[in-house]
Structure 1
Amino acid sequence: MARQTSTPLRGSREISRLATPDRLDTVQSASWELSAIGECLAAIGRDMELAPSDQKTPAGGTGNALNWLASEITRRCVLIDEALS
């Protein structure tokens, strides 16, 4: 019979003990970089929302989508940062 080992549940403190400081730094850096990407997307989205409405494509809708995407990136970065602390 094979020996069964329990795996830590997602979000448990056991997972963070398995990560090395180098890996944690890598994840933190990735989180900061994603956050920066989110800020860029939000800025583009705001610019598109404020674009003149005489354009052929509805820029406001695309701007809204980019702002939503930026907020989702930010939300996930916050979750990552909370898990690392």
Structure 2
Amino acid sequence: MVKRTSSPRRGTRGNSRLATPDRLDTVQNASWELSAIGECLAAIGRDLELAPCDQKSPVSGTSNALNWLASEIDRRCVLIDEVLS
């Protein structure tokens, strides 16, 4: 039988990584890009909501899903920005 050793958890001794300015910049840029994606999804959701009712596809469900996804992205971006500041 092979003895298994656990690897150190993130943030424990030996595995901690400092948040350098370059890393912070990378995370901030990713947050801004993610926020832009959220805006695009929200715009698509709004366009679907305003689509004519004669379409046969369930547009309202799709638009609701896109709007929810956009709001979740925005919520997470706010959390990232709070941690960075």
TM range, smaller chain: 0.7 to 0.9
Alpha-carbon RMSD across the aligned residues, in angstroms, is 2.0
Residue 7 of structure 1, CA deviation = 2.4
Residue 58 of structure 1, CA deviation = 1.3
Structure 1 spans left out of the alignment, 5+ residues? 9-14
Question: Which stretches of structure 1, 4 residues or more, deviate above 4 A after TM superposition?
Answer: none
Cα deviations by residue, 1:19-47 (Å, 9 ceiling, x for unpaired): 11000000000000000000000000000
Query: Are residues 1:7 and 2:12 paired?
Result: yes
Instruction: Report the count of equivalent residues.
Output: 74
Give the 5 Å matches for 1:1-85: 7=12, 18-85=18-85
Counterpart residue type for residue 73 of structure 2: I
Counterpart residue type for residue 38 of structure 1: G
Please say which structure displays the higher CA radius of gyration.
2
Between Structure 1 and Structure 2, the one with more helix by share is: 1
Residue 54 of structure 1, CA deviation = 1.1
Structure 2 spans left out of the alignment, 5+ residues? 1-7
- Normalised by the size of structure 2, how large is the TM-score? 0.79
Distance 1:50 1:69 in 2: 18
Q: Is the 8 A contact 1:49 1:61 kept in 2?
A: no
Counterpart residue type for residue 12 of structure 2: T
